[in-house]
Amino acid sequence: MSEEIIRFEHFGFQYNAQSSPTLFDINLTVRRGEKVLIAGPSGCGKSTLAHCINGLIPFSYRGERTGSLTIAGKTADALGLFGISRHVGTVLQDSDGQFIGLTVAEDIAFALENDCVADPELHERVKRTAGLVGIDTHLAHAPEDLSGGQKQRVALAGVMVEDVDLLLFDEPLANLDPATGKAAIELIDDLQRQTGAAVVIIEHRLEDALHRDVDRVVLMGGGRILADMPPDELLSGALLTENGIREPLYITALRYAGVEITPDMAPRSIEAMRLDEDAKRKVRDWFQALPESAPMEEQSAQLEAEGLRFSYAPGEREALKGVSLTLRRGELAAIVGTNGAGKSTFSKVVCGFEIQQAGTLRLDGADLNGLSIKERADHIGYVMQNPNQMISQVMIFDEVALGLRTRNVPEDEIRERVQEALQICGLWPFRNWPVSALSFGQKKRVTIASILVLKPEIIILDEPTAGQDYRHYTEIMEFLLSLNRRGYTIVMITHDMHLMLEYARRALVFSGGRLIADAPCAEVLTDPEVIARASLKETSLYALALRCGISDGRGFVRRFIAYEREVARA
Amino acid sequence: MRNIFNYVDRPSPIHRLTGATKLVCLLLWSFAAMLTYDTRLLAVLPVLSLGMFMLSRIRLKDVSFMLGFTVVFMVLNNVLVFLFAPQHGVSLYGTRHKLFSLGGNYVVTAEQLFYHLNLVLKYLATIPIVLLFVCTTNPSEFAASLNRIGVKYSVACAVALALRYIPDIQREYHDISRAQQARGIEMSRKQSLVKRLRSAGAILIPLILSSMDRIETISNAMSLRGFGKNKKRTWYMGRRFTAADFAAMAFCALLLAASLWLNRVNGGRFWNPFQ
Amino acid sequence: MKNNSVKTIVAIGIGAALFFVLGRFVAIPSPVPNTNISTQYGLLAFMCALFGPIAGALIGLIGHALIDFSYGWGIWWSWVVASAVFGILMGLVSRRLHLADGEFGKKDIVTFNLFQLAAHAIAWGIVAPVLDIVMYAEPANKVFLQGAVGGLANIVTTAVIGTLLCVAYAKARPKKGSLKEER
Contacts of B163 in chain A (CB under 8 A): 102
**CATH class of the domain comprising A4-243:** alpha beta
User: How many whole angstroms separate alpha carbon B90 and alpha carbon C168?
Assistant: 54
Does residue B274 form part of some domain?
Answer: no
Residue C3 scores a pLDDT above 60: no
Give me the number of domains chain B comprises.
2
Q: Which residues of chain A have pLDDT under 50?
A: 1
Mean pLDDT of C109-135: 94
Does residue C24 form part of some domain?
Answer: yes
Chain A nearest-CA residue for B238: A119
Mean pLDDT of B64-70: 82
Chain A contact for C140 (CB, 8 A cutoff): no
CB contact under 8 Å between C137 and B196, yes or no, is no
**Cβ proximity of A161 and A191 under 8 Å:** no
pLDDT (0 to 100) of residue A570:
60
Shortest Cα distance from C21 to chain A (angstroms)?
A: 16
C149 lies in which domain range?
A: 3-172
Give me the number of domains chain C comprises.
1
Residue A477: how many CA atoms within 13 Å on its side-chain side?
26
What residue spans of C97-139 are helical by DSSP H? 106-122, 128-136
**Cβ proximity of C10 and B219 under 8 Å:** yes
* B125/B195 same-domain check: no
**Cβ proximity of C112 and C90 under 8 Å:** no
Does residue C91 form part of some domain?
Answer: yes
Does residue B150 form part of some domain?
Answer: yes
B86 lies in which domain range?
A: 2-138+241-265
* B134/B163 same-domain check: no
pLDDT (0 to 100) of residue A333:
94
pLDDT (0 to 100) of residue C183:
31
Residue A209: count of CB within 10 angstroms of its CB = 25
Contacts of A116 in chain B (CB under 8 A): 230, 232-234
Mean pLDDT of B139-148: 89
User: Most distant CA pair in chain C: distance in Å?
Assistant: 62
Q: What is the pLDDT of residues A319-367, one digit of tens each?
A: 999 999 999 999 999 999 887 889 989 999 999 999 999 999 999 999 9
**Cβ proximity of A202 and A170 under 8 Å:** yes
pLDDT (0 to 100) of residue C1:
39
User: How many whole angstroms separate alpha carbon A400 and alpha carbon A428?
Assistant: 11
Give the SS3 label for residue A225. strand
User: How many whole angstroms separate alpha carbon A210 and alpha carbon A104?
Assistant: 29
CB contact under 8 Å between A15 and C179, yes or no, is yes
* B39/B108 same-domain check: yes
Q: Which of A328, A295, A323, A325 is nearest to A310 (CA)?
A: A323
User: How many whole angstroms separate alpha carbon C144 and alpha carbon C146?
Assistant: 5
Q: Return the H-helix or E-strand segment holding A15.
A: strand A4-15
* B215/B182 same-domain check: yes
CB contact under 8 Å between B70 and C9, yes or no, is no
* B29/B133 same-domain check: yes
* B51/B115 same-domain check: yes
Does residue C109 form part of some domain?
Answer: yes
Contacts of B197 in chain C (CB under 8 A): 28, 37, 156-157, 160-161
pLDDT (0 to 100) of residue C169:
92
CB contact under 8 Å between A114 and B229, yes or no, is yes
Sequence spans of domains, chain A: 4-243, 248-289+539-570
* B16/B115 same-domain check: yes
Burial A354-366 (b: 16+ CB within 10 A, else e): bebeebebbbeee
Q: Which of residues 158-217 of B touch A (CB under 8 A)?
A: 160-161, 163-164, 167-168, 171-172, 175-176, 178-186, 201-203, 205-207, 209-210, 213-214, 217
Chain C contact for A81 (CB, 8 A cutoff): yes
Does residue B255 form part of some domain?
Answer: yes
Shortest Cα distance from B122 to chain C (angstroms)?
A: 9
All partners of chain B with 3 or more CB pairs under 8 angstroms:
A, C
**Cβ proximity of C56 and C44 under 8 Å:** yes
Q: What is the pTM of this model?
A: 0.92
Does residue B101 form part of some domain?
Answer: yes
Q: What is the pLDDT of residues C21-69, one digit of tens each?
A: 999 888 776 666 556 678 899 999 999 999 999 999 999 999 999 998 8
The contacts of residue B79 (CB under 8 Å, 6+ apart) are: none
pLDDT (0 to 100) of residue A116:
94
To 10 degrees, what angle do helices A178-195 and A148-160 make? 20
pLDDT (0 to 100) of residue A393:
87
* B7/B112 same-domain check: yes
**Cβ proximity of B142 and C16 under 8 Å:** no
CB contact under 8 Å between A113 and B1, yes or no, is no
Q: In degrees rounded to 5, what are phi and psi of residue B120?
A: -65, -40
Partner residue facing C172 (CB), from A17, A47, A436:
A436
Burial A128-163 (b: 16+ CB within 10 A, else e): ebbebbebbebbeebbeebbbbbbbbbbbbbbbbbe
Range among A534-538, B164-168, B267-271 with highest mean pLDDT value: B164-168
The contacts of residue C60 (CB under 8 Å, 6+ apart) are: C19, C44, C80, C83, C84, C85, C86, C87
Contacts of C129 in chain B (CB under 8 A): none
**Cβ proximity of A243 and A211 under 8 Å:** no
* B64/B186 same-domain check: no
Looking at residue C126, the DSSP 8-state letter turns out to be I
Three-state SS for A35-49 is: EEEEECCCCCCHHHH
Contacts of C24 in chain B (CB under 8 A): 4
**Cβ proximity of A513 and A501 under 8 Å:** no
Q: Which of residues 135-154 of C touch B (CB under 8 A)?
A: 135-142, 145-146
Partner residue facing A116 (CB), from B183, B213, B230:
B230
Higher-scoring residue by pLDDT: C55, B229: C55
pLDDT (0 to 100) of residue A201:
96
Mean pLDDT of C56-83: 88
Say yes or no: ipTM exceeds 0.95. no
Shortest Cα distance from C122 to chain B (angstroms)?
A: 22
The CATH number given to whatever domain includes residue C103 is 1.10.1760.20
